[in-house]
C-alpha cells in the first residue's frame, strides 16, 4: 500500500507514521528526517536545506523530488510506502505522481490529520526529538535519552515560536490546497481527528484505511 500522511506541523504525522506503517508492513519515508540527516552529516544538500528549515520555510521542490525519486527507487519501498511530510506543494504532488506512475505504482490513500493551530503550538512548544532516530516526545526534557535507541533528546530549531508561526502560514498557503487537489482527482482521501490519545488516533487512522 502507498499511503500519504498529510497535516499541519505538529499534527502527529511523525508519531503515527511508524505505527501505521508497521501495522501495514511498509517502511516510512519522512522527508523531514532525510533532510535533518543531511544537515547532521553536513552534506551540501543539508547545508542548503538548513537555510530554509531553521526558518520554517519549505525546501525547494526540486530538492524534495530528488530525494523522493531516489528513495522510492530502492527495493525497500517495492511493497509500499508510508509518506510522512511529503507532498507539501502542488508541484510536489504532480512530481510524486510522475515518480509513482513511472514504476507502475499509485497512491492508495491520503490521510489528513486534523488539529487546531492552537493545539499545534502547544504540542511543538513542548516537543523534544531524538537526535539519532528522530522519535518525537512530549513531556520530556532536552538531554533525556530516547526510549527506542538511547540517543539524546534535543529541541528542534524550527520549534521556536517564530518558526512555528511561519510553518503554519506556509501550511495554509502552500500545503492545504494539495488536499483538495487529491480530492478532485478522485484519490481516496480521509480526514482523521488527530486529537485524543496517540492510540486512539492510530485506531481512527486504521479504520479510515479500512483496517
Catalytic residues: 13, 88, 127, 156, 167
Task: Select from 176, 203, 205, 198 the least CA-distant residue to 12.
Answer: 198
Is the Cβ of residue 24 or residue 156 nearer to ligand AP5 in the bound state?
156
H helix or E strand, kind and range, residue 38? helix 31-40
With b meaning 16 or more CB within 10 Å and e meaning fewer, what string describes 131-166? bbebbbbeebeeeeebeeeeeebeebebbbeebbeb
* Residue pair 190/112 in contact by the 8 Å Cβ criterion: yes
Is the Cβ of residue 88 or residue 104 nearer to ligand AP5 in the bound state?
88
The distance of closest approach from Cβ of residue 52 to ligand AP5 in the complex, given in angstroms and rounded to an integer, is 5
The C-alpha cell that represents 8 in the structure block: 499541519
Is the Cβ of residue 59 or residue 104 nearer to ligand AP5 in the bound state?
59
Say how far apart CA 26 and CA 29 lie, in whole Å.
10
Task: Select from 174, 17, 172, 27 the least CA-distant residue to 93.
Answer: 174
The distance of closest approach from Cβ of residue 144 to ligand AP5 in the complex, given in angstroms and rounded to an integer, is 13
User: In the complex, which residues of this chain contact ligand AP5 (CB under 6 A)?
Assistant: 7, 9-15, 31-32, 35, 52-53, 56-59, 64, 85-88, 92, 123-124, 127, 136-138, 158, 167, 194, 196, 198, 201
Is the Cβ of residue 24 or residue 86 nearer to ligand AP5 in the bound state?
86
User: In the Cβ-directed half-sphere of 102, how many Cα atoms lie within 13 Å?
Assistant: 9
**Pairing mode, strands 81-84 and 136-138:** unpaired
The distance of closest approach from Cβ of residue 188 to ligand AP5 in the complex, given in angstroms and rounded to an integer, is 21
The distance of closest approach from Cβ of residue 78 to ligand AP5 in the complex, given in angstroms and rounded to an integer, is 22
Amino acid at each position: 500500500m502507498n499511503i500519504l500522511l498529510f497535516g499541519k506541523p505538529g499534527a502527529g504525522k511523525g508519531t503515527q507514521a511508524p505505527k501505521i506503517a508497521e501495522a501495514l508492513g511498509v517502511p516510512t519515508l519522512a522527508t523531514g528526517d532525510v533532510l535533518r540527516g543531511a544537515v547532521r552529516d553536513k552534506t551540501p544538500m543539508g547545508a542548503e536545506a538548513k537555510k530554509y528549515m531553521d526558518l520554517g520555510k519549505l525546501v525547494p521542490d526540486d530538492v524534495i523530488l530528488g530525494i523522493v525519486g531516489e528513495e522510492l527507487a530502492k527495493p525497500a519501498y517495492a511493497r509500499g510506502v508510508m509518506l510522512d511530510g511529503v507532498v507539501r506543494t502542488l508541484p510536489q504532488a504532480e512530481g510524486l505522481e510522475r515518480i509513482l506512475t513511472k514504476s507502475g505504482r499509485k497512491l492508495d490513500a491520503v490521510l489528513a490529520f486534523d488539529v487546531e493551530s492552537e493545539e499545534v503550538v502547544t504540542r511543538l512548544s513542548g516537543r523534544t526529538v531524538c537526535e539519532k532516530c528522530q522519535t518525537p516526545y512530549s513531556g520530556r526534557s532536552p538531554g533525556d535519552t530516547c526510549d527506542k535507541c538511547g540517543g539524546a533528546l534535543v529541541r528542534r530549531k524550527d520549534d521556536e515560536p517564530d518558526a512555528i508561526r511561519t510553518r503554519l502560514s506556509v501550511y495554509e498557503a502552500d500545503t492545504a490546497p494539495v488536499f483538495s487537489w487529491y480530492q478532485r482527482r478522485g484519490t481516496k482521501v480521509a480526514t482523521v481527528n488527530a486529537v485524543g490519545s496517540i492510540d486512539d488516533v492510530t485506531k481512527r487512522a486504521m479504520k479510515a484505511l479500512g483496517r
